[in-house]
Structure formats: structure tokens, C-alpha cells
Structure 1
């Protein structure tokens, strides 16, 4: 049975944990994370390096399988899915933007954006890809390859690719980390605009306090746990266990 969630939660984690086996033994990355993310809201994940922010985002997207607890998205238990099932679920319901753009170098901007739509057998893949590139101001670059684009343009292509299928959930991991301040601010304006326009739920990992301040809710992580005193608005069933 899926874990119980609040009525409007699109993402719900109940005591979710992530442990990985390394050369020195088991390493606990996430330690009993419990929170609900309401539909249509923006959530910022903040904390020092190594606190588990990116790992939590990966678990939310099924890119890493939680090793304990449950992770529910749109009422589906991601922890019960196979890798193939997770891939199809992300294709149909999620968009992901990474710090590194992850564009296919042998494809044009238009082909990169159209790829997830084609994989979903969308008959209007290229038309929707053109619309998505227009939404990020890159209609004039749709025939260019990634190597012919600036870093900011590549990230705009990545944004168009993530949002073209109109996903209900949009995940962004340090999306401005490889960009200068001015370009990064432009990318973030685009990201929030697209989220609002499409009504997606947006989860962002960031080190930038000014970016986190734009989110509806902020969760601070430390040592793989939610740092209770700095968590606002989202429920957690655990006491503060912040590291000294």
C-alpha cells in the first residue's frame, strides 16, 4: 500500500533513507526523511555540500532508489517500481534539469527537445519542441548543435526539453551552477515562469539563498536529515537532529 499523504501532496516521502555500500562500508546518505510537497508549489532544498540535497532530489525522481521508507509521486510508490517502470514514469510525469546540461552532442537543439516527446510517441513532437524553444527564446537556434551554443543557451535548451512534455513534476539540481550570475538569473526567471505557466510542482536544489527565497517552501538538510529549526512549511515527523 502507498504511504498516506496529505490530500494535495504530489510528492510524499515517509521515513525515506538512502544507504550506499563503499570501500569503507555502508554510508548513510539520507536518514529518515519525511515530507509532503503540495501540488503546484515550489520547494527549495538547501544545505551545505554533502548534506544530501542532490541525493534527495534523485530519490524524489526515482533516479536513485530509496533503500528504506517510501517515496510516493502522484499516488504511485516509486520504491516498488522497476528501473524500466521508473523510466516510463519519469517520461510521462517528470522533467529534470541538471547542473550539467546533458544535451546529446550529435543532435540539434530542436532534436534534443523533441527526443523525450518522440520516446513518448507524441505525433506532434517536433511542433511541441518548436513551441518549447520559442518559450525560452531560442527559435533562432533550433538548428544549432550544443557545441555551437553558449552555456546559457544550452541550459535553455535543457529547460525546453524538460518542460516540453508539460510534466506535473519538475526537478532542478543546481541549474545555474555552471553559469555566470547574470545568465543564471535569466535561467531562473525562465524556470519559475515555465513552472507557473504549466502549473508544475518544482523542486530545486540550490546553494543560492536568493534563489531559495523565491520558493514557496524551503527545507534545510544537514547530514542527510531535515534540519528542523530551519524547515518552513513542510511537515516532518522527526525531531531536529542537526549536527553540531
Structure 2
């Protein structure tokens, strides 16, 4: 396997009401192609912030972050947006669907923006693969939380990204629905050959990944866990 993501002494500080807040204090971490990696740790430990750095959604204030041999720290905002469009899929806890668009339109729009000629056909196939072939014409307000997250998964997976980033994708769902979403996420990752990086509080979800990285107070905890152990 080869590296798809590499962080070298990556730091993140943000300005808040109380002044400058140091969130990540120097993270060095490599992620291999095709790997499934769980980011775990207590609330406030920096898990989501680390995921945002990996996706170029936050810019490192120190150190270096590279993805697919591209230095994210050196890119402009437009370059980052194009890079994410072409190489990354992101799934959030709160779905982030466009309320005035149907499920089909939510999935097809990013494909259209990327110039995909068969955007709606591919979107329909992706929705069918997550069990929503019968809900393509429905709006987010007409769907359950689990269905909305399925649409979000389909939207993230449809462009065939090299890297899938998921931030607590089951956090707003009940246990049964969350398990179904996790099954779908793992299936999509495997069928598309993507690298999956997952932020989760759930030990059972983390155990399904190849490796677990724990954070505490903005630093890597001692342990990397190999699921084969």
C-alpha cells in the first residue's frame, strides 16, 4: 500500500471569543491507500478538527498536510475546493442536504458541477445501491434521519472519491439505523476502493476499522490499534 494522506507536525489554532485557542499540537500520521482508520478520543480531543485538516476544510497553522502527494497547506481555497471535488467525499453527522432539492438532485448536483456527463444516471444508481431507489423524488423533509444519511452517503460516494471522510456519521441516529448506515459506509468503501477515515465515539464502530488512532488534548494518544490483533 502507498500513502494517501500524510501529516507532519500538523498544528491547528483558531481565534475564538476568548482569544487564540490551540486545538492540535503537532500531529504526525500517515494513512495508507485502501485503509479504514478510526479517529477516537474524548469530546474536545481534536478528532473532528483533525478530520477537517485531512480534508482541507481547515488549514493547518503549523506543520504540513499532504493528500495524494499534494500539499494542502500550499493550495488556494479554489484549488482546495477542486481537489475535494475530484478526490474526496465527506459525510457529516448532520447530513447537510439541500432542503429544496430531491434526493436525486442532491446526489447529482456535485457530479454535474464536476462535469460528469451521466450525472443523474450515476446518482440514481448510487441511491439504488443504498436502498433508496424508491425515494429519489422525495425531499429531505420527507425522509427519516436514516434515509437522509443514506442520501448523504450516496452523494459522497457517487464521484468515486479516493478518500472518504466521515465525521460521526451515525451520531444523530438510533443504534439500529446507525449500524445499517455503518454497514453501507463499509460496503461503499469496499466497492469503490476508497480510503475511509471515520470519527466516532463508538468502540464497536472503531473495532470494524483496520486501525484506530486515539486523540487526547490535541495530541495522539499512545495507541494505534490494529484490528487484526
Which of the five TM-score ranges fits, normalised by the shorter chain? over 0.9
Rounded to whole Å, the distance in 1 between the matches of 2:14 and 2:179 is 35
- TM-score, normalized by length of structure 2? 0.97
Return the offset for 1:195.
0.3
Deviation per residue, 1:103-142 (Å, 9 max, x gap) = 0000000000001101101111001000100110101000
CA distance in 1, matches of 2:21, 2:143: 39
Q: How far apart in 2 are the matches of 1:99 and 1:23? A: 25
SS of corresponding position for 2:31: strand
The equivalent of 1:177 in structure 2 is 171
TM-score (norm 1): 0.91
C-alpha displacement at 1:24, in angstroms? 2.2
Q: Deviations over 1:8-58 (max 9, x none)?
A: 110000000000122322211001000100000100000000000000000
Instruction: For 2:49 and 2:218, locate their aligned partners in 1 and report how far apart those are by CA, in whole Å.
Output: 9
Counterpart CA distance in 2 for 1:31 and 1:196 is 33
| Equivalent of 1:25 in 1, 19, 28 | 19
What does residue range 219-238 of structure 1 map to in structure 2 within 5 Å?
Answer: 219-228=213-222, 230-232=223-225
User: Is 1:66 matched up with 2:66?
Assistant: no
Structure 1 equivalent of residue 87 of structure 2:
93
Q: Which residue of 2 aligns with 1:3?
A: none
Shift of 1:231: 2.2
- Aligned to 2:44, which of 36, 46, 50? 50
Question: How big is each residue's C-alpha offset from its partner over 1:175-224, in whole Å with a ceiling of 9 and x where there is no partner?
Answer: 00000000000000000010011100000000000000000010000000
Q: How many residues align?
A: 226
What are structure 2's unaligned runs of at least 5 residues? Answer: none
